[in-house]
Amino acid sequence: MADDVHEVTMPKLGESITEGTLSRWLKSVGDQIAFDDPLFEVATDKVDSEVPSAFDGFLMEVLVAEGQTVPVGTVLARIGPLAGSATGAAPVPAAEPAPAPSEVIDAPVVTGRGNGNGRLLSPVVRRLVAEHNLDLAAVTGSGAGGRITREDVLAAIAATPAPVAPAAPAALAPPASPVSPPTAAAPAPQAGDREEVVPLSRIRLITAQRMLESRQTSPHVWTSVEVDLQRIEDLRRRYKEQFRKEEGVSLTYLAFIARAACDALRAHPAVNASIDTASKTMTLHRYVNLAIAVDLNEQGLMAPVIKGADALNLRGLARAIKAMGDAAKAQTLTADDLSGSTFTLTNPGPLGSFASAPIINQPNVAIMSTEGVSRRPTVVGDGIAIHHMCILGFSYDHRAFDGVTAARFLMDIRDTLQDRDWEAELQ
């Protein structure tokens, strides 16, 4: 390769990121590119990023198509020198980008029935044809140039009648158990009257995968505690305007709960841990990286991480929670902002929830939900009073610790919220 031709590779967007999906090219083959021009967009399981060009020149060749997922370091494209530069020549038309994954041309079909009329099919299509012994001559391709796509094959599978089992002969011995045929992929659902079929977003699919993995990994147990927040409510009323002027953020219940949780996590290291049963070890984190779940307008959740949250006071946590929430909604978080959590808080309380059993954010061993604050009767001394009360819901991994640890952890948070001199910390 000429020294003046530069390779563009899949960037490493975070410590734990090993691959990325090239979601969109922002330049076309032959386009002139200046240093730092937006070149393509990458989607990972944590965040979407726009990647700028590190070189001047023109887009000479695209090697990875939109929608493909490749490891970090994979060559995505090549950038050549511009005409008139010291070593440059005029841009030369390059090969078109590789087609989308469902239509990648790889090798001639050599399985299935019928002749393929010399057609070239993707690995996914070849596998489906082989598994279901399809007659290729009966499959009509809807792709470019009549190419058979995955969707064409799935439609053909759905239209193929199930084979009729032959009548069992009268035999002295029972017949052998039949081998179940491969399960056909379910056809896409069809919308009926007053129905709408919509595709799942990428973040919804990732959330589904992560939640299922968490349930399969951790034996979840749930417990809860009720907290009297009346003293904190009185303090918020007195200081909320002053606090907003000084800090530029609201003095929310969440900031107090996060502060109390950080202290409890330091006192109960088993709750602030990650577990590896394969190596028969558990890592106790002597710091708190606090993830806060943020709703993205009901399109999914992100959990940005406040690194070193245990080193922040109430004011610092209030500012950090607001900053991370704003960045999540503005989609300006980096992969590192979403990595490295040791404990997670989820906060459905502003919507008036009563009690929740959230799913653990792996590789944490616990997650706590902060529920709606409402005025309820409670015992105060020998009398009954109407106070601002709240439930804290706690899901934990029973491999890491037992119910007594969970109960003590929640008791410490409750006592801190109810009894600490928060006014002194505010001042």
When divided into structural domains, the chain yields a total of 3
Entry field: residues in the chain = 427
Tell me the average pLDDT across 125-131: 70
As a whole-number percent, the residues of the chain with pLDDT over 70 amount to 78
Tell me the average pLDDT across 290-307: 90
Determine the Cα angle at 333 with ends 332 and 335, to 5°. Answer: 140
At 198 the three-state DSSP class reads coil
My answer on whether 284 and 355 are in the same domain is: yes
Q: 207 falls in which pLDDT band (50, 70, 90)?
A: confident
Q: Which of 320, 265, 259, 261 has its CA nearest to residue 294?
A: 320
Provide the CATH number for the domain around residue 10: 2.40.50.100
Rounded Cα gap, residues 9 and 51, in angstroms: 11
My answer on whether 312 and 401 are in the same domain is: yes
| Any domain includes 180 | no
**Distance between the two ends of the chain, CA-based, in angstroms?**
65
* DSSP codes, 52-96: E-SS-EEEEEE-S-TT-EEETT-EEEEEEPPTTSSS-------PP
Tell me the average pLDDT across 290-310: 91
- Give the pLDDT of residue 179: 54
In the predicted structure, residue 172 carries a pLDDT above the cut 50: no
Q: What sign results for the dihedral spanned by CA atoms 28, 17, 304, 396? A: positive
My answer on whether 26 and 141 are in the same domain is: no
At 207 the three-state DSSP class reads helix
- Give the pLDDT of residue 43: 80
My answer on whether 287 and 143 are in the same domain is: no
My answer on whether 40 and 110 are in the same domain is: no
| Any domain includes 197 | no
- Give the pLDDT of residue 332: 87
| Any domain includes 327 | yes
My answer on whether 303 and 414 are in the same domain is: yes
Cis-peptide into 269, omega within 30 deg: no
- Give the pLDDT of residue 36: 83
pLDDT tens figures, 62-119: 999 988 888 888 999 999 888 655 444 445 444 444 444 444 333 333 344 444 445 5
Does residue 331 or residue 365 have the better pLDDT? 365
| Any domain includes 61 | yes
> What's the DSSP call for residue 408?
H
Token pair for 144 = 């470019």
In the predicted structure, residue 263 carries a pLDDT above the cut 70: yes
Domain housing 336: 219-426
Contact 370, 392 (CB under 8 A): yes
Q: Which of 178, 104, 109, 176 has its CA nearest to residue 139?
A: 109
Contact 276, 328 (CB under 8 A): no
Does residue 74 or residue 176 have the better pLDDT? 74
- Give the pLDDT of residue 44: 74
Range from 63-67, 155-159, 220-224 that averages highest in pLDDT: 220-224
Supply the residues annotated as catalytic: 398, 402
> What's the DSSP call for residue 321?
H
Rounded Cα gap, residues 411 and 343, in angstroms: 17
| Any domain includes 203 | no
Does residue 101 or residue 183 have the better pLDDT? 183
Question: Rounded to the nearest 5°, which phi and psi values hold at 281?
Answer: -135, 160
My answer on whether 47 and 83 are in the same domain is: yes
| Any domain includes 421 | yes
At 234 the three-state DSSP class reads helix
My answer on whether 89 and 120 are in the same domain is: no
> What's the DSSP call for residue 340?
-
My answer on whether 80 and 122 are in the same domain is: no
| Any domain includes 59 | yes
| Any domain includes 229 | yes
